[in-house]
Amino acid sequence: MAIVTTSPKGQVVIPKAEREKLGIKPGAKVLVKAVSDHIEIYPLPENPVEYFCGVFEEGSSLTQALLKNRKEEAERERKKGAGFLRPSGVSEKRR
C-alpha cells in the first residue's frame, strides 16, 4: 500500500513496487473503476486474445469454437426447414 499525490491534471504514479507485483509495464493499459468511496485499478492483459484462450477447452481455438458454433446453428436451421427468407407478403407460388 502506498500514498501518492495527484497532479494538477489528476494523474497519479503507481509506485514501482506495486507495478512490479502486478506486472504493469510502461505503456500497459489498466482499468480504472470508481467503487463507492474509492478507486480500483486492474491491469489489463497485453494480448487479450492469448489471455482469453483459456476460456475454451484445452486444444481448442477461437476459430474452432466459432466454426463448431456455426455448424450447430446451420444444422438447427436445416432441421427447422429454414431456407432463403422471402419478403413478407410474397407467397411461395408467386415467382
What pLDDT is recorded for position 39?
92
What pLDDT is recorded for position 25?
92
| CA 66, 67, 68, 69 torsion-angle sign | positive
pLDDT above 70 (res 56) = no
Is the entire prediction scored with pTM above 0.75? no
pLDDT band at 93 (very low <50, low <70, confident <90, very high): low
And the C-alpha cell for 58?
A: 484445452
pLDDT tens for each residue of 58-70: 556 667 778 888 8
pLDDT tens for each residue of 6-49: 999 999 999 999 999 988 999 998 889 999 999 999 888 777 66
Provide the phi-psi class of 58: left if phi over 0, else alpha when psi is between -120 and 50, else beta. Answer: beta
Q: Which among 30, 52, 28, 51 has a CA at the least distance from the CA of 42? A: 30
